[in-house]
Amino acid sequence: MNALTLQWHEAGINRAKQIYAQQLSKNIGTCRIGRDPVRCDIVLTHPTVSGLHIEIFFDPQKQCFYLRNLREPNPPQVDGKPLLKGEIPLSEGSIIYLGQQLLQVTAISIDSIPATIIVQPQVQPVHHHHIKLQPTQPNPVYGLECSKCHKISPPENLQIGCPWCGTSLAAAVSVLVAPSH
């Protein structure tokens, strides 16, 4: 499962949070960070942090987590450079400042399991004049069984994850759903 671990120290306590590529969020597909508990998934209390400061998200095409600035007048600093607008890729060890609040990316795990594509073999009928051929069976339909909620998704959901619980389908089991007609 694609995940990023973020750590920070706040109010005398060391805190950590894992951010997943597909997770329930105030803004689907992202993890929003700031002071406002209504709009943010990770709420920080330092007064120099904006109400809605940044969001972190996973780009499945680039296989990378990114940080996006949501507060141009109070830009975050990533690895010592202000991010005035737009987004920047994150890596293990990245240091993020939101105002005076320090956050650190301590771990990133990216699924490296290649997609399994199942192809139905094509059987060529044997033509013998004295054998009556039976009609061919319809091609089976395959789906991906979510490892968390065990619901079956169509193979097209491989890149976006389980539509019910958000779990990555990269390591999902391929299952026979029903023959197509």
161: in domain: yes
pTM of this structure: 0.60
For 127-158, write each residue's pLDDT tens digit.
545 545 455 555 556 677 788 888 887 777 76
Residues 85 and 154 in one domain: no
Residues 20 and 73 in one domain: yes
Query: What pLDDT score was predicted for residue 116?
Result: 47
Positive or negative torsion for Cα 46, 48, 50, 54 = negative
118: in domain: no
Specify the higher pLDDT residue, 146 or 171: 146
Burial classification of residue 147, based on how many CB atoms lie within 10 Å of its CB (0-12 exposed, 13-18 middle, 19 or more buried): middle
Residues 83 and 145 in one domain: no
127: in domain: no
Query: What pLDDT score was predicted for residue 26?
Result: 67
For 66-109, write each residue's pLDDT tens digit.
999 998 888 999 999 999 989 999 999 999 999 999 999 999 99
Count of structural domains, the chain: 2
Query: What pLDDT score was predicted for residue 149?
Result: 84
Residues 51 and 104 in one domain: yes
Asked whether 53 and 70 are in contact (CB, 8 A), the reply is yes
Q: What is the mean predicted confidence (pLDDT) over 10-25?
A: 85
Specify the higher pLDDT residue, 95 or 126: 95
Query: What pLDDT score was predicted for residue 148?
Result: 83
Range of the domain at 37: 3-109
Which of the listed residues 109, 130, 159 is the one where a domain comes to its end?
109
Residues 100 and 152 in one domain: no
Residues 104 and 150 in one domain: no
100: in domain: yes
pLDDT band at 122 (very low <50, low <70, confident <90, very high): low
| 2: pLDDT strictly greater than 60 | yes
Mean pLDDT of the chain: 80
Query: What pLDDT score was predicted for residue 20?
Result: 87
Residues 99 and 148 in one domain: no
124: in domain: no
Which of the listed residues 60, 94, 109 is the one where a domain comes to its end?
109
Which of the listed residues 86, 109, 132 is the one where a domain comes to its end?
109
